Amino acid sequence: MPIHLYWGDDEAARQRALAAQIEALVDPAWATINLSRLDGADSGQAAQALEEARTPPFGAGARVVVLQRSPFCQAHPAELAAQLEAALELIPADGHLFLVSEGKPDARLRTTKRLRAVAEERSFTLPPIWDGAGQIERVESAARERGLALAPEAAEALAEAIGSDGLRLASELEKLALHAGSAAGPITAEAVAALIGGQVTSSLAVGDALLAQHPAEAIALVEALLEANEPALRIVAALASQIRGWLWVCLLERSGEQDVAVIAKAAGIGNPKRIYVMRKQIRGRTPEQLLALLRRLLDVEAALKRGADPGDAFRDGFLLAAAQGWHDQPGSAPRR
């Protein structure tokens, strides 16, 4: 198939797949001639990509034309659409045109329908931050691509530490591969903790500190994350995911559900064994308390999006959560 449609917001996975295709198709000795990388944000380069894709390769191997930020499955000039239509049937069998974009193709467009009829299409989408099972599956898939085997607890620890950061996931998997060396068996959670344990602890410890009614500790942990250049909105998303998981477990237990597999599936938690830990964490807490924390996080997110200083936004939100979110609720645990 000489035409390839790659799209999705997981840039790291997209680039890995693209690099593997280029390595397989292009002869390194002829790469300077047979490999072109162009930017579809420039309509002139988009047209140039169509022209180059129609040219047979020189020497050994195939010709590969990569058009990043491809405009052909989004709104684009009619002239480009006509050029694409004319080029599709003229791309030789040993020529490959990769149309790469972050956004999902607009299925309503004629060009999208035309490309989908003739192209190999692959999507590279990040699971939502609250989709714990999806995050773990993504980590395991990336590990398999590198020939690495992860223990379930190790995959879960990586997913919790990294979230949706595909570039960081690739970096951490490389470290784990070097750390594992020729050791037999899958990579363990202990190995993950040895390499990135501090980062895992920081992201989870913020929520633990809030749950324990220790706002000062939570603020200090957030400030450390901010100093390490962790994006503020990513911290909010991770905390929301953590508290939402507690809330699901709390609500399901109150409804009488005891099957940890059922609770884990409903809460989007990949490892059912984690439910036992979460039950201990939220013992004595009420759904109203957890909802109050989520409301405070929403206030923090709103302040950040209005341009507030991240440290101030978290500080105000966490102190208000301590003052309002816990002690006015029935059944709240005593302060320590």
In this structure, the answer to whether residues 94 and 152 fall within a common structural domain is: no
Under-50 pLDDT residues of the chain:
201, 326-336
Q: What local confidence, expressed as pLDDT, does residue 121 receive?
A: 94
In this structure, the answer to whether residues 100 and 213 fall within a common structural domain is: no
| pLDDT tens digits for range 147-169 | 888 888 888 888 877 766 677 78
Handedness of CA 182, 184, 186, 190 (dihedral sign): negative
In this structure, the answer to whether residues 68 and 160 fall within a common structural domain is: no
Q: What local confidence, expressed as pLDDT, does residue 333 receive?
A: 42
Please give the span between the terminal C-alpha atoms of the chain, in angstroms, as a whole number: 65
Q: What local confidence, expressed as pLDDT, does residue 324 receive?
A: 59
In this structure, the answer to whether residues 148 and 264 fall within a common structural domain is: yes
Q: Structure tokens of 218?
A: 């939570």
In this structure, the answer to whether residues 313 and 246 fall within a common structural domain is: yes
Choose one of 64, 99, 123: the last residue of a domain: 123
Query: Which residues on adjacent β-strands are paired with residue 3?
Result: 97
In this structure, the answer to whether residues 114 and 227 fall within a common structural domain is: no
In this structure, the answer to whether residues 60 and 185 fall within a common structural domain is: no
Q: How far is residue 40's CA from residue 66's CA, in Å, rounded to a whole number?
A: 9
Q: What local confidence, expressed as pLDDT, does residue 328 receive?
A: 44
CATH (domain of 104): 3.40.50.300
The residue segments making up the domain with residue 47 are 3-123
> Nearest Cα to 25, choosing from 65, 84, 54?
65
54 contacts: CB under 8 Å, gap ≥ 6: 87, 90, 91, 92, 95
Q: What local confidence, expressed as pLDDT, does residue 44 receive?
A: 92
Residue-wise DSSP of 207-254: HHHHHTT-HHHHHHHHHHHHHTT--HHHHHHHHHHHHHHHHHHHHHHH
In a domain, 332, yes or no: no
Element of type H or E holding 325:
none
- For the chain, how many structural domains are there in total? 2
In a domain, 336, yes or no: no
Q: Do the Cβ atoms of 117 and 88 come closer than 8 Å?
A: no
Choose one of 104, 123, 142: the last residue of a domain: 123
Neighbour-count burial of 37, counting CB atoms closer than 10 A to its CB (0-12 exposed, 13-18 middle, 19+ buried): middle
CATH (domain of 224): 1.20.272.10
Q: What local confidence, expressed as pLDDT, does residue 327 receive?
A: 45
In this structure, the answer to whether residues 146 and 277 fall within a common structural domain is: yes
Q: Structure tokens of 86?
A: 């004319």
138 contacts: CB under 8 Å, gap ≥ 6: 10, 126, 127, 159, 169
Q: What local confidence, expressed as pLDDT, does residue 183 receive?
A: 63
